[in-house]
A and B are shown apart, each in its own frame.
Chain A
């Protein structure tokens, strides 16, 4: 019996492919920019003041999203409120609309309400819009952690003390990794977002990068500036790792993790009221604005928008779907081996690096690397867009899946190992069924992000091809407001229908998961 040449072949192949196809272009771009550019600006105090301001704003948004996500996630996943299934899906809607369009809708809405833009044209507007856009991420992350909690722990707690103590002493500590993940993901999304700060006229570090890039065409300087953002994100992840290593990871019980729903009419009613209020504020108001704008002169704008977007549906959905499958696969492989090795692997760092690089810079890196005659088959085809999706979103899927794997007791796998069960069977029969809700959450988030990705795709989409978010945004300029709003509504409806379809397809599997855990 010969020794295996590679200890973990699947991991190694995935890792090498990710590094070669995605990381090398970015590192190459950073190195060439550092060599060719004047880096003296790094000594300027102003740069760091602006960076500090961006960190502060991103922290506020991340904190608010995590708080709202915890409250709303708890109500949806732990309380038996009315229309629970509907609200679970409905609260995700802000994720389906581009932050830029949400900003426009909110500003218009404020104008109708208060007759002036002052309330929305400020830090308040920026924080409010981004918090509302990113809260669904927190709900999904925290919700999936809540549904993984062993009900026996809650039951035992409730025998000894009241619900409040159970929440504070048992549930919150159990979902601490998810809370931190939610904060970090929203923080990174917020700190790299440029279109909303530009729209609200708030000067942040990303708007500075955008200015260097789009007003001065100084690519090298923009790339080096974005390196500072990447460093901030890496420091954040580093501290998270350090912190989480001490966090109490409680596992799902050996019998299972079926989440116990609270069923008290008072709590149910209050929870329902909170959910509905948030639903009206964050979803009904902006969507109502879009509907009013769309139907201003009848339904002709909606018809026209549908005709314009129809040719983009098939390619966009297929691309997002293929991208999502690869993203979840990469996320699972990296998460599994990272958890098993009990340390932050270089794969984790690479995933973070690419996630933290601003979309435009990532796009430029891929152009500089792939735009060679020999690589034309990649650069001039949809493959380049898939590379963009996988690079941008694998970190999210890896984080979500890793959190879930950490909650699985190691004795389950150890027992299988003692029995001599193969890795593939171990994964298929033990691990994957136990982390199914998180895998599904990772799938849904990755799909939504891939379907709406604009920043990198706009730099890479092959000439002559039509992808939905690109078409919406290229048609936005100078198109009548009714057409722009109609397109946004169509994108939202399509995304929602697809997500509902995914939920329906997954329903039997998730039901089996719940039954198995009962």
Chain B
């Protein structure tokens, strides 16, 4: 009898701690750093009364834990809404048939290039790929202005990039392949390798190596650069190739998971993320550039209007990525 009552007690505990999806709630999986995404989700919770249950990702897994979880849960989706830090992962999910379509009215003034034409994903607040340099090691007038400059002898062993198999670096390289074509892009990659480019573990690691002076400069994202500036590091930022192919713009994306349980609440959160208010908050917290026009941002946040962006199609670049991934693996390993 005692054993049975203990068993029932355990079941009750598990029931209480389990997610009851019939409630007024929405399940969000996000690859966006918790430190930036959580405050936005909490605000939504306060404003709407809808409980947000979030799953965040880790740097240790290169922010792919959540992606792999969504793929593994495909047959019985737990996640209602996927908030990604870049379009690349979202497009992988779209191609695996995991996403549903939804077009938010709040995205009407966002440029078409930042939206899926069928509504599988919509972009908002963007980061950019930039070159960061250590101001005490590189003079302002001598700073590389093009990715091609990084192959110059004077930067031998003094340029860092994150492992191009993961994260926004993958997307950056895929975009370069898309614009320059395979042959020229491979020449560039080979030249970088010959120039003993340092392969760091992450964009944050690139930032640390530049800030510490281990390398002169490196490629990273604006949010990492912004964090280093906040910490008082003596670094400068350059948007590369403003006279050429432009800088890569990496928007956040939001998507709804097909057959998920709280679709209505997910749509409300989807709309919320696409508001100017959310973009303004992300501009303050992590220097992300709004895709809506007329959003008030702090002074240090660059405006998209002042940057020549890479002229790419995100879907095509993602497809391209699949083709060059084996090449990149070989490039990293050899």
Contacts and interface: CB of A to CB of B under 8 A. Distances in A.
A12 interface: no
Given A195-B60, A463-B19, A477-B34, A382 B329 contact: no
Contact of B76 (A116, A203, A372, A480): A372
Contacts of B165: 211, 215
A219 B14 CA distance: 29
A360 B62 CA distance: 13
Interface in A192-219: 195, 198-199, 201, 203, 211, 213-217, 219
B104 interface: no
A481 B208 CA distance: 10
B214 to A, nearest CB: 6
Interface stretch (A126-134, A242-250, A363-371, A423-431): A363-371
A464 B52 CA distance: 7
Contacts of A380: 18-19, 21, 78
Contacts of A464: 19, 25, 27, 51-54
Interface in A335-380: 360, 364, 367-368, 371-373, 376-380
A384 B72 CA distance: 15
Given A382-B17, A464-B19, A474 B166 contact: no
A382 B14 contact: yes
B170 interface: yes
Contact of B55 (A371, A463, A473): A463
B227 A473 contact: no
A379 B69 CA distance: 13
A463 B54 contact: yes
B47 interface: no
Given A360-B68, A371-B76, A459-B68, A381 B55 contact: no
A480 B227 contact: yes
Interface residues of A, number: 50
Given A462-B19, A463-B19, A478-B33, A217 B76 contact: no
B145 interface: no
Contacts of B35: 475, 477-479
Contacts of A463: 19, 27-29, 53-55, 78-79
B164 to A, nearest CB: 9
Contact of A364 (B52, B68, B223, B231): B68
A475 B36 CA distance: 9
B14 A367 contact: no
A236 B212 CA distance: 44
B212 A111 contact: yes
A38 to B, nearest CB: 14
B61 interface: yes
A213 B68 contact: yes
Given A476-B58, A478-B35, A462 B68 contact: no
B19 A474 contact: no
A478 B204 contact: yes
Contacts of B68: 213-214, 217, 219, 360, 364, 459
B238 interface: no
- 8 shortest interchain CB distances as A-B pairs: A464-B53, A381-B18, A463-B53, A474-B56, A214-B64, A380-B18, A473-B58, A477-B59
Given A477-B34, A481-B231, 20 more contacts: A203-B333, A214-B67, A214-B68, A215-B165, A217-B68, A360-B68, A377-B18, A378-B14, A454-B58, A458-B61, A462-B17, A464-B52, A465-B17, A470-B56, A475-B35, A477-B63, A478-B36, A478-B204, A480-B227, A480-B231
A215 B164 CA distance: 10
A458 B17 CA distance: 17
Contact of A219 (B33, B72, B78, B204): B72
Contact of A478 (B25, B65, B224, B325): B224
Contacts of A100: 60
B196 interface: no
Nearest to A370: B76
Interface residues of B, number: 60
A375 to B, nearest CB: 9
Given A214-B61, A477-B33, A367 B72 contact: yes
Contact of A473 (B60, B199, B204): B60
A461 interface: yes
Contact of A377 (B15, B36, B61, B214): B15
A47 interface: no
B60 A215 contact: no
Q: Is the interface of A mostly helix, strand, loop or mixed?
A: helix
A34 interface: no
B92 interface: yes
Nearest to A464: B53
A117 interface: yes
Contacts of A477: 33-35, 57-59, 63, 204
Give the most central of A382, A459, A474: most B CB within 10 Å.
A474
25 contacts: A198-B201, A211-B165, A214-B61, A214-B68, A215-B165, A215-B166, A367-B69, A367-B72, A367-B73, A371-B75, A377-B14, A378-B14, A381-B13, A381-B18, A381-B19, A458-B58, A458-B65, A459-B68, A461-B55, A462-B18, A463-B19, A464-B25, A464-B53, A471-B34, A474-B34
Contacts of A368: 72
B113 interface: no
Contacts of A232: none
A87 interface: no
A24 interface: no
B11 interface: yes
Contacts of A372: 76
Contacts of B19: 380-381, 462-464
A404 to B, nearest CB: 28
B312 interface: no
A371 B78 contact: yes
Interface in A471-491: 471, 473-481
A153 interface: no
Contacts of B199: 201
A116 B56 contact: no
A85 to B, nearest CB: 34
A211 B231 contact: no
A385 B323 CA distance: 37
Contacts of B231: 480-481
Nearest to A374: B76
Contacts of A203: 333
A383 interface: yes
A465 B18 CA distance: 10
B49 to A, nearest CB: 15
Give the most central of A199, A215, A371: most B CB within 10 Å.
A215
A211 B329 contact: yes
Interface string B184-208: 0000000000000001010010000
Contacts of B71: 217, 219
Give the most central of A213, A382, A463, A464: most B CB within 10 Å.
A463
Contacts of B55: 461, 463
A115 to B, nearest CB: 9
Contact of B34 (A195, A376, A475, A481): A475
Nearest to A50: B333
A378 B63 CA distance: 25
A291 B65 CA distance: 29
A325 to B, nearest CB: 12
A214 B62 contact: yes
B286 interface: yes
A213 B36 contact: no
A442 B111 CA distance: 59
A217 B35 CA distance: 26
